[in-house]
Amino acid sequence: MENYIKKLKEIILKYPDLYQKKMYKKGDHLLAEDNIANNLYYIKKGIAKVVHYCEGKMKEATILFFSEDEFMSPYKSFVDNDASKFSIEVIENADMLVISKTNWQKLEQLEPEVTHLLKDAALNIVYQFAYYIVDYIRFDANKRLESILEKKPSLRRLSDEELSKHLGVTRTTINRAKKKNV
């Protein structure tokens, strides 16, 4: 776990009245595209994905996955009240801490450091996405799968369908790549 995530989590846990513990089921939608993000999520257990829908929801582009010990929320939407360009969906039953925007603002008053820690977390997400794009350009499906699973072993729990959407290949290709990489 990155130091800024560990520190942010420690600070949040000092104020149990500012967050809720929630369980989400596979398929639950935490945020719909074009809505404003009013919550910040910390994943204790489970996996969620950030998705952008194209062609009137006919085509899904999975942007990123989030799993244990990660914070997630479209940063610009959460901080600036802008409509999100992304949806967030739970793809594995999840246990999360949920902090409302109102409670986040209270936390910022109590612990001003959290503002910078959340910016660090958001910047890390930008880096993750940049590395994903570079891998997409440089590598074939086998190498991209190997790279993503190396960086985030929790994604081994995903279905071939979820991985294929993220990597932009067929499920058959994923299945072959998994067999090759086992």
Grouped pLDDT means (10 residues each) for the chain, 182 residues: 85 96 97 94 96 75 89 91 94 97 96 92 85 85 83 87 80 77 58
pTM (2 d.p.): 0.88
Q: What is the 3-state secondary structure (H, E, C) of the chain?
A: CCHHHHHHHHHHHCCHHHCEEEEECCCCEEECCCCECCEEEEEEEEEEEEEEEECCCCEEEEEEEECCCEEECCHHHHHHCCECCCEEEEEEEEEEEEEEHHHHHHHHHHCCHHHHHHHHHHHHHHHHHHHHHHHHHHCCHHHHHHHHHHHCHHHHHCCHHHHHHHHCCCHHHHHHHHHHHC
pLDDT value at position 1?
Answer: 58
pLDDT value at position 162?
Answer: 84
What is the domain partition of the chain in residue ranges?
3-113
Tell the CATH superfamily of the 3-113 domain.
Jelly Rolls (2.60.120.10)
pLDDT value at position 103?
Answer: 97
